Amino acid sequence: MAIEDNLLTSPNRHEISAANDDASAEAAGNAIDCSEQLSVQTKMAELEASNHKLRVENLALRTRIERQKSDRSLQKGLVIAGMVSLWFFFILSVITKLIASSN
C-alpha cells in the first residue's frame, strides 16, 4: 500500500495526468482542425465551381460580342456595297441620258 501511495503522490502522477490532458487537447485540436479543413475544402470547392461558372459565362459573352462585331462588319460592308452600286447605276444612268441626248 505504501508503494501505491508513493506512486499516487509522486511527480510521475502529475506528468501522466498532464500527458493525458495534452493528448485530450491534441485530440480536440485535431477534431477542430479536421472540421476546419473540411470547411476550407468545402469553401474551395464552392469557389472553384463559381470560378468555372463565371468562366463559362465570360466565354459566352465574349462569343456574343464577337458575333455582334462580325454582324456589324457585314452590315457595314453591305451598306457600302449598296451605296457603290447606287452610285454606279446613277453614273450609268447619267451617261446613257447624255448619249441619248447627243444623238
Query: Hey, what's the torsion of the CAs at 34, 35, 39, 40, to 10 degrees?
Result: -30
Question: Are the beta carbons of 41 and 35 closer than 8 angstroms?
Answer: no
Tens digit of pLDDT for each residue in 66-90?
999 999 999 999 999 999 999 999 9
Question: Are the beta carbons of 7 and 13 closer than 8 angstroms?
Answer: yes
**Predicted local distance difference test score (pLDDT) of residue 17:** 57
**Predicted local distance difference test score (pLDDT) of residue 81:** 97
Residues of the chain with pLDDT under 50: 1-4, 6-8, 10
Classify 58 as helix, strand or coil. helix
Q: Enter the DSSP assignment of 103.
A: -
**Predicted local distance difference test score (pLDDT) of residue 7:** 47
